[in-house]
A = this chain, B = another copy of it.
């Protein structure tokens, strides 16, 4: 079925171009015309794949989630509890060029969600999947005695997922006050009251976060919290 393969590949290329344009120019920059230009095709060509801009944007928004979730699942593979949680958060939080770009894209979409039914319908599904998965990891962390039995996994999961959304807003609106070290501090602030003695959160983040922002190498700038 070479035709179908071509169709799918072309569709993916259009979504890819849309992601680039939204990250660079916001949603205002992602018109059907601009995307056709970016791909070097005729103005009408996109219409064969997406009936209108709303349909294209909904598909693009789903693609952002799929990419984030794919990377998070890869990182968390073979881990459980606290380690799986921190590995997942490392891909959800805007900590590097890829995740900061994703934050810019989702925040643009949220700005449109008040007036776009189709986009609004997509988020609850993703939000519930994230919250459920984070809650499971918290339950495992309690089983593993990394977190206290008094920790309540459900509200803690809501708070963590909520903090991810908030960090995405902050990375866009206050980029200079949202370095990875600050994001890590806030997550640790949420979990710290529930960690069992001897459980170090700082030492459990994935190695690349720890290496990039090791307080021994790059001192955590606590003045960020006071300025």
A interface residues with partner B (beta carbon < 8 Å):
25-29, 104, 107-115, 120, 123-124, 127-128, 152, 154-159, 162-163, 165-167, 169-170, 172-174, 177, 182, 185-186, 189-190, 193-194, 222, 225-227
Structural contact, B186 and A159, CB atoms closer than 8 A: yes
CB-CB nearest in chain B for A108 = B111
Copies in the complex: 2
Separation in Å of the A66 CB from the closest CB of chain B? 18
Q: Which residues of B contact A128 (CB under 8 A)?
A: 227
Structural contact, A110 and B155, CB atoms closer than 8 A: no
22 example contacts (A-B, Cβ-Cβ < 8 A) are as follows: A26-B111, A26-B114, A28-B112, A28-B115, A108-B111, A109-B111, A110-B110, A111-B111, A123-B173, A123-B174, A128-B227, A152-B189, A155-B189, A157-B225, A158-B186, A159-B186, A159-B189, A162-B163, A162-B166, A163-B163, A165-B166, A193-B194
Per DSSP, chain A at the interface is: helix
Q: Which residues of B contact A25 (CB under 8 A)?
A: 115
Q: Which residues of B contact A114 (CB under 8 A)?
A: 26, 104, 107-108, 172
Assembled-state Cα–Cα distance A120/B127 (Å): 27
